[in-house]
Structure 1
Amino acid sequence: MQFFQKSQEEIRIEQKLQRINTAQQDEKYRKPNPCQIVFPEENFIEMIVQQEGKQIKLNTYRFPAVTKPKAIVFMFHGLCAHINHCAHIAQKMAQEGFLIVGFDHRGFGKSEGLRGYIESLEIHLQDSRLFIQKVMELQGNSNLPIFLSGQSMGGMTAFRLAILGNIPNLKGIILYAPAIKSLFSGLFIGTIQFLGYLIPKYKLVKPKRGQTTKNPQITEDLMKDPYTYQQELLPKTISTVTVSMKESESMYRQLNTPWIVIQGGIDKLVDPDLAQILERESPSQDKTVLFYENLWHDIWHEEEIQDIIPKVIQWLNQRV
C-alpha cells in the first residue's frame, strides 16, 4: 500500500546504516601506522587539577614551530586515546611554522586521575580552558592566532569551546570526526544515562576493537600501547560522552567560528551526515568540509591522513 511506502530519505538512511554496519576490517587495508613519533617536549607547563578532593597532575605536550610561530594549534584527543596519537600531524604543522600543544585528559594517557573516568563535560571543558590559559600566559599573552583541533571527543571539545567563546584570537577550529552527532538511539542514551547515575564507576564493558579503523595494524598497535585505555568503559564516562553528543546536535546554529570538518562515510561512532548538516545549519561565513567515502572514525590513524594533513595546513595558512 502507498501509505506504508518508505520515503527516499528513509531508504537513504537505511542504506547508510547497512553500509556502515557491514563494513569490516580487512587485510587489504593493512598498512604501517602513520604515527611513528611522539611529541618532543612533555610537561612544558604544570597542570594540577582537583578530582574528588585530590590533586592530580595532567601531562602536557608541545611540538615547537621550526621558526617563529605564526599561530598556536591546540590539539584535543578522543576517548580512550592520548595526545601522542596526533604527533605525526603536529610534526607536519610545526614544520610549517605552527606551535602545537596538547594534554592528556584526566584519567587517560600519562595523566593522573581515575582511569577512564570522565566526571562531566563541564569539568572536562574546565581542564581544557585552564590549559589554554596557561599556554597563553607562557606565551606572554601574545596576539598569536589560536586554532582549536580535535579528534572525536576532542572535536566535540573544540566545538563546545568555540561556542562558549572567550578564547582570545580564535581564528578557527579543525574537527576530525567530531563527536557531535550520534548514531545511538534515544533509548540507548537514556539507559546509559541512568546507569551512569546509578553505578558511575562500575566497570561495564571493554571497548570493542576493530570499530574505528579499517586497518587491522592500527588496532594491533593500539592494543600494545600502554597509554591507550584498554580497560572496561565506565557508565558515567559513556553517559557523559553520549549525552554531550546528543546535546551538541542542537548547537550547530551557534557555531559562528571559521571551521573545517573532516568526516568519513564509514564512521561507526559518529553519523557521517554530520558534515552536511553542520554545513547547512552553522551560520559561520567560513566553513569547509573534507568528506572521504571510505574513511572510518579514527581519522588520525587512517591512511587518508596523508592526504588530509596538507589540506588542513593550507586551510591554516589561509587564516593566519
Structure 2
Amino acid sequence: MAMTDAAELNFWGDLPENEYYRSQGVVNKKEYFTTPYGKLFTQSWLPASGEVKGVVCCTHGYGSDSNWMFQKIPIAFAQWGYAAFASDMLGHGRSEGLHGYVEDIEKLASTSLDFYKSVRDCNSYAGLPKFLFGESMGGGATLLMVLQDSRGWDGAMFSAPLFEIPEPMKPSRIHLFGYGLLFGLAEPWAVMPDSNMVKRAVKDPGKGKVIGSNPRRYRGRPRVGTMRQLSRMCDVIQKRCHEIEIPILMLHGTSDDLAAHEGSQMVCEKAKSSDKTIKLYDGMYHSLIQGESDENIARVLADLREWIDERSSKKTCNTE
C-alpha cells in the first residue's frame, strides 16, 4: 500500500518532500509491508536516472527510524547507483508495536528480514548483487539476519554495530533480575536508567539538535525488555559470529561510548568469511554518518562506497 505524507515536518526544512528527493537525485516511495508479527513501514530510494547496479537493505538503530537523518545513508547508496530499501523495525517509527520496545530481538530481526527477502527475491533485481547494511542496534539485528538466512546476500556492511555493550552502558543485572521476578509484567516498563544516548552518540552539537528533533524518535527511558534483549543479542553474536561466511565491512569510531569497537574487531577476527574489512576511525563517536563533522562523514562514506563498488563489480564480472 503506497503512502504519502502531507505537510510533514522534515529535517531539511520547508522544501516539499518530493522536491527534496529530486534535489538529491533519488526517487522515494513509502509503503507498508505485512508480516505475521505486524505491519512494517518501509521505504525505497532509487536512482532518479541510470541503471541500478545493486540492492542495499538498510536497518536503523535503537529509538530511531528510517525517515529522519538515517535516510542520508540509503540516499547516498541511491546516489551511487544502488536501489536502497529500509524498514522501521517493530516498535520503531511508523511500524506497529509498542514504541521503543523490543520483545524478542530475533523476531525483530526476522520481521525486517521478511521485507528484505521480498526485495532480494524480486524479479526486477534478478542477477544484481544484494547487500545488507546496519547501524548501531540495527547492525546487531543485521548480523542476526545473516545468521538466520545468508543465502543470496553478497555482503553486509556495519556502521558502529552493537556487538558488545561498553561496561558503563551495560544494564544492571540486579535490575534485570529483579524485574524478571515479575513473570514478564515488567518487560514493557520504561524504567531503566537513561544514558542520554544522543549526546553520547553525536560529536557535532548542531547535528545532535537535528537528530534529537526527530518527531518519531523514542524519547522515553529504556524499557526493561528492550535492554534484556540487547544484552541477549550481544551474547548470541559473540557465540555465533564464527558462522558468518559472507563478505563483511565494519566501520567503527574508537571513541564510541554506546557500542564498543572491540565488538567489531571480535566479529572480524572470528568470522569464517575470507573477505573481512574493518575501518577504525580514531576519535570518532557512535554516529559516524550523521553526527560527525562533514569532513569525517565524507571519509566514512568514501570507505563505504569503495567497499560496495568493488564487490558489486566483482559480482557483475562473474555473471557476465
TM-score range (shorter-chain normalised) is: 0.7 to 0.9
Indicate the residue corresponding to 2:138 in structure 1: 154
Any idea what the Cα deviations from partners look like across 1:94-125, whole Å, max 9, x if unmatched?
12211100011122112232111111012112
The DSSP-based 3-state class of the residue aligned with 2:154 is: strand
Aligned length in residues: 280
Q: Which among 39, 45, 48 is matched to residue 63 of structure 1?
A: 45
CA contact (8 A) 2:161 2:264 kept: no
- When residues 207 and 115 of structure 1 are mapped into structure 2, their CA distance, relative to the original with a 3 A threshold, is farther
Partner in structure 2 of residue 306 of structure 1: 298
Matches within 5 A, 1:79-158: 79-84=62-67, 85-140=69-124, 142-158=126-142
Q: Residue in 1 aligned with 2:227?
A: 238
Shift of 1:189: 5.7
Q: Is the 8 A contact 2:35 2:114 kept in 1?
A: no
User: How far is the alpha carbon of 1:71 from its aligned partner?
Assistant: 0.9
Following TM superposition, by how much is the alpha carbon of 1:174 offset from its aligned partner in structure 2, in angstroms?
0.4
RMSD: 2.4
**Could you tell me how far apart the structure 1 residues matched to 2:228 and 2:190 are?**
13
* C-alpha displacement of 1:279: 2.9
TM-score for the superposition, normalised by structure 2: 0.79
**CA distance, structure 2, for counterparts of residue 192 and residue 238 of structure 1:** 10
SS of match in other structure, 1:159: helix
For 2:216 and 2:171, the matched residues in 1 are separated by 29
Residue 47 of structure 1 corresponds to 33
Q: 1:192 to 1:261 in 2, by over 3 A?
A: farther
Q: Could you say if the C-alpha distance between residues 217 and 58 of structure 1 is closer, same or farther in structure 2, counting changes exceeding 3 Å?
A: same
Looking at structure 2, the residues matched to 275 and 290 of structure 1 have their Cα atoms a distance apart, in angstroms, of 9
Gapped runs of 5+ residues in structure 1?
A: 1-34
Corresponding residue of 1:202: 189
Corresponding residue for 1:315? 307
Contact between 1:117 and 1:234, CA under 8 Å: does it hold in 2?
yes
Give the gaps of 5 or more residues in structure 2: 1-10, 13-19, 313-320
Sort the Cα spacing of 1:92 and 1:141 in 2 relative to 1 into closer, same or farther, 3 A: closer
Deviates more, 1:235-244 or 1:198-207: 198-207
Cα 1:280–1:57 shift into 2, 3 Å: closer
1:295 to 251, 274, 284: 284
Q: Does 1:283 align with 2:272?
A: yes
Give, in whole Å, the separation in 2 of the partners of 1:59 and 1:305. 27
CA contact 1:266–1:293 (8 Å) conserved in 2: yes
Tell me, in whole angstroms, the C-alpha distance in 2 between the residues paired with 1:121 and 1:266.
26
Give the CA deviation at 1:40.
4.7
Aligned to 2:216: 227
Contact kept in structure 2, 1:182 and 1:246, CA below 8 Å: no
Amino acid at match of 2:191: L
- Aligned-pair distance for 1:89? 2.4
1:263 to 1:315, Cα distance in 2 relative to 1, 3 A:
same
Q: What is the rounded CA distance, in whole Å, between the counterparts of 1:90 and 1:70 in structure 2?
A: 14
Distance 2:223 2:170 in 1: 18
User: What TM-score comes out, normalization by structure 1 length?
Assistant: 0.79
